[in-house]
Amino acid sequence: MRASEIPAAVGIISVSNLVKQFGRFAALRGVDAEFDAGKFHVILGDNGAGKTTLLRALAGLAQPTRGTVSILGKTPYDACREIGYMAHTSMLYDEMSGMENLRYFARLYDIAGDSRCEQVIHAVGLDPELSRPVGQYSQGMRQRMSLARAILHDPKILLLDEPFSNVDVHSAREMVGLLKGMSDAGKTIFVVTHQAVLLEGVADEFVWMQAGQIVDRTNHFATDSARAEEP
């Protein structure tokens, strides 16, 4: 456990006074929030608002300059088996096939055999027999395989950074369907996206970020102007 991260209550994902600085630039400026486990959270905001940094802090990839992160009562470091993280790049080796990639990552989580890898590849709508290297996949296929890698160890919490970027509308809707299924199965999902309209009616909460802080939290998606008119 790292000294700067003190666990809070179990069943909750919380950040307290979270500050993350890159040199003199503060990407997160004292974020305080609690997120219920088992819900679907969408993080929105303009470029540079701190969405990706918040997600990386939750994943344990960005060490807070100040403040604490608690994942189900543990530090992100200790809760790593409960977290599945998907970045906006594929986090896969381009020279290996999807199955070869997943086989390798399965070993990191002590998952033996191919059955779990085949299961998650089927779950994201791809074929485990596909022998092409990932570098030759379409962007949509790569995103799905990246999701397969993130859910390989059956984590309780999924942190997804721009899962619909560069994906056509049809593939994006299919991915939303997949995520809804996972949410219904009790997973806690955080999605950073600029295409929030895809998640209208699916997500439980929309979290708005601006200049490194959470400025609003709503249970429905509304554009900036619509939110401004709300009482």
Residue nearer to other proteins on the CB measure, 89 or 223:
89
Q: How far is the CB of 179 from other proteins (least distance, A)?
A: 19
Q: How far is the CB of 192 from other proteins (least distance, A)?
A: 15
Residue nearer to other proteins on the CB measure, 8 or 159:
159
The answer to whether 17 touches 69, Cβ cutoff 8 Å, is no
Q: How far is the CB of 105 from other proteins (least distance, A)?
A: 6
Q: How far is the CB of 197 from other proteins (least distance, A)?
A: 27
Residue nearer to other proteins on the CB measure, 83 or 126:
83
Residue nearer to other proteins on the CB measure, 107 or 217:
107
Positions touching other proteins (CB under 8 A) are: 59-63, 80-81, 83, 85, 87, 89-96, 100, 104-105, 107-110, 149
- Concatenating the DSSP letter of every residue in the chain gives --TT-----TTEEEEEEEEEEETTEEEEEEEEEEEETT-EEEEEESTTSSHHHHHHHHHTSS--SEEEEEETTB-TTTTGGGEEEE-SS--S-TTSBHHHHHHHHHHHTT--SSHHHHHHHHHTT--TT--SBGGGS-HHHHHHHHHHHHHTT--SEEEEESTTTT--HHHHHHHHHHHHHHHHTT-EEEEE-S-GGGGTTT-SEEEEEETTEEEEEESS---HHHHHH--
Residue nearer to other proteins on the CB measure, 61 or 211:
61
Q: How far is the CB of 142 from other proteins (least distance, A)?
A: 9
Tell me the residue type at 108. L
Residue nearer to other proteins on the CB measure, 90 or 193:
90
Q: Look at residues 38, 23, 76, 39 and name the one whose alpha carbon lies nearest to residue 54.
A: 76
Q: How far is the CB of 35 from other proteins (least distance, A)?
A: 18
